[in-house]
Amino acid sequence: MKKIIAFISAMLMLPSPVTTYAESAETLSETVGNTTFYYTINANNNAVITGCESYEESITLPALLGGCLVTSIAEKAFFGKFTVSSVIIPEGVTYIGDNAFSGCLSLESIKIPQTVTYLGNGCFTSCSELQNVELNNSLSSIPDNCFNACTSLKNINIPDSVTLIGTEAFFGCSDISGIFIPPNVKVIGENALGMHYDIRGNGIETFNDFVIKGLPETAAADYAEAHNIELCFLLGDINSDGYVDAVDSSMALIEYASVSANKPSTFDKYQMFAGDYDGNKMIDAVDATMILIEYARLQTELIK
């Protein structure tokens, strides 16, 4: 029943049909493995996937069709593919159209390759089982309704390249509390985060216990204030427990030691901002010491 409701929601949110650059081109087909892909060839002699026939749970999109490089996924190309749980998109794809994967009710994970620079409106609307999303650093926006009603999505990393989060981009994402909005995001659309339809029929409301992680004097802070949502940021509070203490200092030291040994960072973006106490855009022993000093100061205040 949950999936049927999600599919109906996706149908209702579809935009009116529009003419696309590939609409007048001849539709061709090619079978790769157990999947038949439908495609057109655009003016640049590149392939545009317009649909497929498959009973496979996992679909790997080909890099070439008809000897042409696949660069685009047309609007609604995979709309309503109920059985698909994972899709692998090849490098070389630059464009994913409106509602391209909307209503894929079993889709659990998606990785957007580095070559993709455009996501269409509602491209993952009502993918109710979607849990893991990996965006790239080539995207400048997360468009309107992009992940609307993705009720299983728990967290997502907003790339530094993103400056805009569209209207209702994460509307109805009930499990995505605590999302970090980096300061490079300058615009957040209406009802983009933490909002859903009240089941009592009283309109739109905020999810209980929803918080936004973000810095003061940013779009995240403005959005939180406008929607009466808690903004979670405390300089030095690396583990997000609401306190600055010795644990945070130890975490800063461990991170510093790891990076100094040329090991990959273990911190997410929020932890990097929270741990960078001196604001020099790196975590080191100075930050650990300053956090420890702040902890001592706070303890002194408590004694008083």
Q: Based on the domain organization, do 190 and 293 belong to the same domain?
A: no
Are 79 and 164 part of one and the same domain?
Answer: yes
User: Is position 238 within any domain?
Assistant: no
Which CATH number fits the domain that encloses residue 48?
3.80.10.10
pLDDT of residue 304: 61
Same domain, residue pair 273 and 158: no
Do 73 and 194 lie in one domain? The reply is yes
Q: Which of 183, 210, 232 is the last residue of a domain?
A: 232
**Domain closes at, from 232, 263, 290:** 232
Kindly state whether residue 76 falls inside one of the protein's structural domains.
yes
The residues, ordered by sequence, that sit 6+ positions from 104 with a Cβ below 8 Å of its Cβ are 78, 79, 80, 81, 82, 84, 87, 124, 127
**Parent domain of 40:** 2-232
Q: Both 124 and 265 in a single domain?
A: no
Structural domain ending residue among the three candidates 169, 203, 232: 232
Domain count of the fold of the chain: 2
Q: Does residue 157 belong to any structural domain of this protein?
A: yes
Residue 138 forms part of a structural domain: yes
What is the CB neighbour count within 10 angstroms for residue 221? Answer: 17
Residues 131 and 278 in one domain: no
pLDDT of res. 4: 46
217 and 283, same domain (yes or no)? no
Mark whether 216 and 260 lie in a shared domain: no
**Per-residue confidence (pLDDT) for residue 176, from 0 to 100:** 86
Tell me the pLDDT of the chain (304 aa) as tens digits: 445 444 445 444 544 333 333 444 699 999 999 999 999 999 999 999 999 999 899 999 999 999 999 999 999 999 999 899 999 999 999 999 999 999 999 999 999 999 999 999 999 999 999 999 999 999 999 999 999 999 999 878 999 999 999 999 999 998 887 889 999 999 999 999 999 998 777 799 999 889 999 999 999 999 999 999 999 999 999 999 989 999 999 999 999 999 999 999 999 999 999 999 999 999 999 999 999 999 999 888 776 6
* Residue 240 within any structural domain of the chain: no
* Cα dihedral value 260, 264, 268, 273, nearest 10: 20
210 and 91 within one domain: yes
Q: For residue 41, tell me if it sits in a domain.
A: yes
User: Could you tell me if residue 239 is inside a domain?
Assistant: no
Asked if 136 and 166 sit in the same domain, the reply is yes
Same domain, 196 and 282: no
142 phi, psi to nearest 5 deg = -110, 110
Same domain, 218 and 78: yes
| Whole-prediction pTM | 0.85
The rounded distance, in Å, linking the Cα atoms of 82 and 19 is 26
